[in-house]
Amino acid sequence: MTEPVDQGRVRLDRDGAVARITFDRPKAHNAFTWAMYEELDSILAALSQDSELRVVTLRGAGGKAFVAGSDISQFREFSGGDDGIAYEAKMNRYFQRILAVPVPTVAIVDGWAVGGGLNIAACCDIRIASTRARFGSPIARTIGNCVSMQTYARVVGGFGEARAKRMLLLAEFIAAEEAMTAGFLARLVEPDEIDQAAQEVVERLLENAPITLRVSKAAIGRVLARDIDPADDLIGLTYGSEDFRRGVEAFVNKTKPEWQGR
């Protein structure tokens, strides 16, 4: 009998004015399933209506990964470019929900932040990482897909053009120290110090004027807002390609994809 797929879960723990969210699928390095995206979306929608809320923290369970992207096996359901366009549009709605949380959000990254995990971290206001954190989106080497234009913009904004190209064209991972140098991180500490560092950041935010924090976050969001071409032609080309289907199957079967360029 086939074992059911571990769908994972997103846990919410409330500590007064602080909401602590944990991505709980450690056996899969917290790779997100569709169910986990929906659960996170529902949690954030409810929290955003809470007038008592002051800070939200997000972290992965297990100490090895923040989030290792989306569960690749789910892409086997895709049959063409339109599926990719719909998928990236849905991802944008999920990520917009994170951006729209009216209070400061803090990503606590201990381990891998890959693909969707990198984007979740990029959508948070403050990022704290341990020295074993690694950031990347190695899609050019793994399954041969692409990301939305909004995601490309966040990666470039967070790391700069040169590092973004290393991540997306060379499929390199950026170490925590370099992410700190790039300005992507607010704090960098040893793994056994990350809980204390996160608590110190939360306490600092709780000490500050809540209306000022809400207004400043919203104001910065408006400054950064821009009309971005959704580039459905590029997304459709990528997800409709034979290479994408080859990449997904190779990833699931733990083999190396043989790119055909079509």
Nearest alpha-carbon partner for 118 in 88, 144, 154, 92? 154
CA distance 89 to 47: 23
What's the pLDDT tens digit per position in 65-122? 999 988 888 888 898 999 999 999 999 999 999 999 999 999 999 999 999 999 999 9
Taking 90 as the threshold, does the pLDDT of residue 244 lie above it? yes
Which CATH entry fits the domain spanning 9-191: 3.90.226.10, 3.30.1300.10, 3.40.50.720, 3.40.50.300?
3.90.226.10
What's the pLDDT tens digit per position in 168-226? 999 999 999 999 999 999 999 999 999 999 999 999 999 999 999 999 999 999 988 87
Residue 126's DSSP bridge partners are 106
What's the pLDDT tens digit per position in 5-36? 678 999 999 999 999 999 999 999 999 999 99
Taking 60 as the threshold, does the pLDDT of residue 2 lie above it? no
| pTM, to two decimals | 0.92
Beta strands in 50-192 (DSSP E): 55-60, 65-68, 105-109, 112-114, 126-130, 134-136, 174-175, 187-189
Taking 80 as the threshold, does the pLDDT of residue 1 lie above it? no
Provide mean pLDDT across the span 43-58. Answer: 97
pLDDT of residue 224: 86
